[in-house]
């Protein structure tokens, strides 16, 4: 059985091949090219808002108006509605974003204290080799220099994580990025911007703290911390409809709106004449956040359900028509796609992702989404198609989820008829084995400096 198909023996949890063929034929008959190669593809901005859950952006049909500025960018972009990360944690997800490799190949992981090895080739390195000036303006924690994600960047500016007022890390990061862009706007450049602005603790400034929750009267405070409020809240199973959980969600949404305002101002600067006409903009996140979907609140890196894996992905480029795209794609596809847009050959065997705009068209068929997480207590992996997802857990335990009839991923079908889903088990085991046997040399574990440990504690990753 091919690795990108599931046979009909799996109880109908697959999309007929004829649908995909029809889509491809339709595109060919229509003769519609999504973009024509622009004369100038010399400037690239990649924005990653850590822990930004895709379905909490208003352009993704969220009920609250959280993101008018990102909505505007979406209307100008290729809007990938079904984009998924490869790990629900900051370090492995960003390493996959930069290298187009799966986590068990690059093995950069906070739980094992492994940085990204020098042997891996990053997006920044390829761009720098092709004459681009490169800079990153990031917030520390899992993006500190000890994790070696700075490979290929001439400038790698780290703002240590600190979400206590009166500091404003997001504004500072965007200000520094804007200054660097102004200095290099007449050159080819790649600028990466990252912020934990919507990550815990949820502490939106006024008026964003009460923007979506004016009537809440307690008992939770208006600043939600990991080691105090969330730890106590999660002592019991919690669900999204509960008033206290809704309060936490409202504070998170306030953070999203605050982010949207300042990222919007940054995008307005980039729209200046002579800059926007040459600019590729990619907007995404490394993973989502759970808010009572499966019993936890304000958490990630603990499961492989969609609330953690689904991320926003917008790609805007000169001379490229905007379009909503509902086929399934991955963050490992971002690096080869950016290189393709920049006119650099992205057909490289080092990449496990693919260029999403081959021949100027988006993928007409769904790409298999593989994700994994290496916890201290075991290894988890997931293989997702639009119709179904299988999750492999330690001890050769599996979950099979019917996403068409159970989009909330609440009912595990595997125990009812394990033999019927044997092909799914074989499929995910092939993915696991292939990545584990990939001929790579991971970095050795490191001893974390005290200041990095303190930032990771503030982010909720260390006790």
Task: With a cut of 60, say whether residue 8 has pLDDT above it.
Answer: no
Work out the number of other CB atoms within 10 angstroms of the CB of residue 60. 18
Predicted pLDDT at 349: 66
What's the chain's Rg over C-alpha atoms? 21
Predicted pLDDT at 439: 86
Q: What is the pTM of this model?
A: 0.92
Greatest CA span in the chain, whole angstroms? Answer: 62
Q: Which of 28-32, 67-71, 75-79, 115-119 has the lowest average pLDDT?
A: 28-32
Structure tokens at 100: 């187009």
Q: For residues 194 and 50, is the Cβ–Cβ distance under 8 A?
A: yes
C-alpha to C-alpha distance for 271 and 277, rounded to whole angstroms: 8
Higher pLDDT, 12 or 33: 12
Predicted pLDDT at 17: 32
In this structure, what are the phi and psi dihedrals at residue 227, rounded to the nearest 5 degrees?
Answer: -80, -5
CA neighbours closer than 13 Å in the CB half-sphere of residue 396: 5
C-alpha to C-alpha distance for 351 and 339, rounded to whole angstroms: 12
Burial of 1 (0-12, 13-18, 19+ CB in 10 A): exposed
Question: For tokens 């599996």, what's the residue?
Answer: 398
| Cis geometry, peptide bond prior to residue 207 (ω within 30 degrees of 0) | yes
Share of the chain above pLDDT 90, in %: 80
Q: How confident is the model at residue 34 (pLDDT cuts 50, 70, 90)?
A: low
| Stretch 29-57: mean pLDDT | 74
Higher pLDDT, 107 or 23: 107
Task: With a cut of 70, say whether residue 29 has pLDDT above it.
Answer: no
Higher pLDDT, 348 or 58: 58
Higher pLDDT, 360 or 134: 134
Strands, E assignment, 396-446: 397-402
Predicted pLDDT at 167: 54
Predicted pLDDT at 28: 35
Which tens digits make up the pLDDT trace of 252-275? 999 999 999 999 999 999 998 889
Which tens digits make up the pLDDT trace of 184-222? 999 999 999 999 999 999 999 999 999 998 889 889 999
Predicted pLDDT at 310: 98
Q: How confident is the model at residue 42 (pLDDT cuts 50, 70, 90)?
A: confident
Structure tokens at 460: 């909720």
CATH number of this structure's domain 38-368: 3.40.720.10
Strands, E assignment, 323-463: 323-330, 369-375, 378-384, 388-393, 397-402
| Stretch 51-60: mean pLDDT | 98
C-alpha to C-alpha distance for 392 and 429, rounded to whole angstroms: 8
Which tens digits make up the pLDDT trace of 394-443? 989 999 999 999 999 999 999 999 999 999 999 999 999 999 999 888 99
Which tens digits make up the pLDDT trace of 332-386? 999 999 999 999 987 666 899 999 998 778 888 999 999 999 887 789 999 999 9
Q: Which sequence spans correspond to the domains of the chain? A: 38-368
| Stretch 283-299: mean pLDDT | 97
Which whole-number Å values give the CA distances from 320 to 191, 208, 339, 362, in the listed order?
A: 20, 34, 15, 11
Predicted pLDDT at 163: 72
Which tens digits make up the pLDDT trace of 105-120? 999 999 899 999 999 9
| Stretch 68-85: mean pLDDT | 98
Task: With a cut of 90, say whether residue 2 has pLDDT above it.
Answer: no
| Stretch 148-170: mean pLDDT | 87
Predicted pLDDT at 228: 84
Predicted pLDDT at 23: 36
Question: Measured on CA atoms in the order 47, 49, 50, 54, is the torsion positive or negative?
Answer: negative
Strands, E assignment, 89-154: 133-139
Predicted pLDDT at 165: 59
| Stretch 12-32: mean pLDDT | 39
Q: Quick one: DSSP state of residue 277?
A: G
Q: How confident is the model at residue 285 (pLDDT cuts 50, 70, 90)?
A: very high
3-state secondary structure of 201: coil
Higher pLDDT, 457 or 17: 457
């Amino acid at each position: 059985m091919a690795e990108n198909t599931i046979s009909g023996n799996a109880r109908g949890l697959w999309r007929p091949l004829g649908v995909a063929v029809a889509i491809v034929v339709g595109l060919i008959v229509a003769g519609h090219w999504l973009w024509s190669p622009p004369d100038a593809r010399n400037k690239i901005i990649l924005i990653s808002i850590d822990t930004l859950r895709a379905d909490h952006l208003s352009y993704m049909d969220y009920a609250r108006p959280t993101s008018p500025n990102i909505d505007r960018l979406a209307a100008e972009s290729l809007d990938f509605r079904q984009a998924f990360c490869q790990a629900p944690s900051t370090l492995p997800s960003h390493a996959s974003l930069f290298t187009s490799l799966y986590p068990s190949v690059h093995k950069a992981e906070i739980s094992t204290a492994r940085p990204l090895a020098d042997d891996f080739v990053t997006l920044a390195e390829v761009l720098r080799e092709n004459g681009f000036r490169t800079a990153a303006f990031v917030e520390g924690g899992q993006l500190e220099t000890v994790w070696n994600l700075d490979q290929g960047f001439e400038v790698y500016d780290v703002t240590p994580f600190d979400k206590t007022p009166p500091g404003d890390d997001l504004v500072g990061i965007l200000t520094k990025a804007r200054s660097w862009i102004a200095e290099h706007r007449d050159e080819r450049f790649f600028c990466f911007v990252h912020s934990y602005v919507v990550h815990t603790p949820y502490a939106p400034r006024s008026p964003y703290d009460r923007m979506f929750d004016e009537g809440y009267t307690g008992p939770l405070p208006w600043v939600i911390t990991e080691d105090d409020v969330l730890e106590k809240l999660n002592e019991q199973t919690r669900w999204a409809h509960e008033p206290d959980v809704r309060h936490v969600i409202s504070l998170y949404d306030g953070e999203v709106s605050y982010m949207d305002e300042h990222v919007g101002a940054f995008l307005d600067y980039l729209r200046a004449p002579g800059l926007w006409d040459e600019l590729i903009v990619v907007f995404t996140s490394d993973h989502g956040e759970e808010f009572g979907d499966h019993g936890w609140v304000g958490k990630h890196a603990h499961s492989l359900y969609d609330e953690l894996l689904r991320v926003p992905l917008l790609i805007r480029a000169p001379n490229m028509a905007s379009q909503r795209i509902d086929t399934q794609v991955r963050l490992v596809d971002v690096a080869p796609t950016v290189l393709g847009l920049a006119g650099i050959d992205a057909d490289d065997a080092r990449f496990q992702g693919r260029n999403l705009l081959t021949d100027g068209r988006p993928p007409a068929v769904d790409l298999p989404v593989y994700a994994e997480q290496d916890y201290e207590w075991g290894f988890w992996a997931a293989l997702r198609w639009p119709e179904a997802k299988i999750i492999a857990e330690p001890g050769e335990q599996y979950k099979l989820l019917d996403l068409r009839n159970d989009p909330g991923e609440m009912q595990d079908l595997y125990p009812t008829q394990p033999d019927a889903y044997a092909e799914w088990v074989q499929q995910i085991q092939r993915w696991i084995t292939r990545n584990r046997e990939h001929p790579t040399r991971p970095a050795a574990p490191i001893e974390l400096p005290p200041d990095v440990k303190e930032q990771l504690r503030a982010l909720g990753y260390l006790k």
